[in-house]
A and B are shown apart, each in its own frame.
Chain A
């Protein structure tokens, strides 16, 4: 079965940094593009970032560009999100999601993890 398990969330002060991880299993991780999507408490979904299979194509939402960095380690079946200069508005549950349709961002987010909560507060 396909499984995506996020980790690394927690409480961090404004201006701080955090690294999220997503461990993938049950499929050939290196063959799929991946995304990060977040959801602020009580709010809707917001796409954060996309990375293709070989990390050649990487895209970000304007709200995180220059502060967040997506990366992956295909040998370890892992996806990462490095978050710097965190703000209160970055508080959210962060989901990793597999892109089942190929190289175009966000076309078919067919599997999602359960999410990891990031709280940015002093």
Chain B
């Protein structure tokens, strides 16, 4: 149950697009279409942004999109806004019915 690998930080200017990668293995990301992404603001509970690789829950902006290729999943945020500044975590179902999170990526909006 090793954590998925995410970049520690990414940054972008308002209006730009950024992509956060999430690399796992064939035991998790690579073998299941069950990757989700969570946004967490300081002192707050996480919020679901993407599930099952690319599905958006009701109420989540269409500026957020997800994809997967092989063992790597990605979250793209287009039209960056100040309120997007937060920590982002990927998450995947894994073998033996376990769940593994990524280490988290801090997004800074410049």
**Which A residues are within 8 Å of any B CB, using their own CB?**
35, 37, 44-47, 50, 57, 59-63, 95, 97, 101, 104-110, 112-115
Contacts and interface: CB of A to CB of B under 8 A. Distances in A.
Given A106-B91, A109-B36, A110-B57, A45 B46 contact: yes
B100 interface: yes
Contacts of B64: none
Given A45-B38, A109-B38, A101 B51 contact: yes
A59 B45 contact: no
B: interface residue count bin? 20 to 34
A43 to B, nearest CB: 8
Contact of B36 (A46, A95, A106): A106
A61 B98 contact: yes
B34 A107 contact: yes
Q: At the interface, is chain B mostly helix, strand, loop or mixed?
A: strand
A46 B89 CA distance: 10
B103 interface: yes
Interface string B1-23: 10100000000000000000000
Pick from B1, B38, B45, B47 the residue with the most CB of A within 10 Å: B45
A71 B48 CA distance: 24
Given A106-B99, A107-B34, A109-B36, A62 B1 contact: yes
Most chain B CB atoms below 10 A, which of A45, A61, A113, A115: A45
A117 B34 CA distance: 29
B97 A50 contact: yes
Contact of A101 (B40, B47, B52, B97): B52
Contacts of A112: 45-47
Given A44-B89, A45-B104, A110 B98 contact: no
A46 B98 CA distance: 11
Given A45-B89, A101-B51, A108 B36 contact: yes
Contacts of B92: 106
Contacts of B104: 44-45
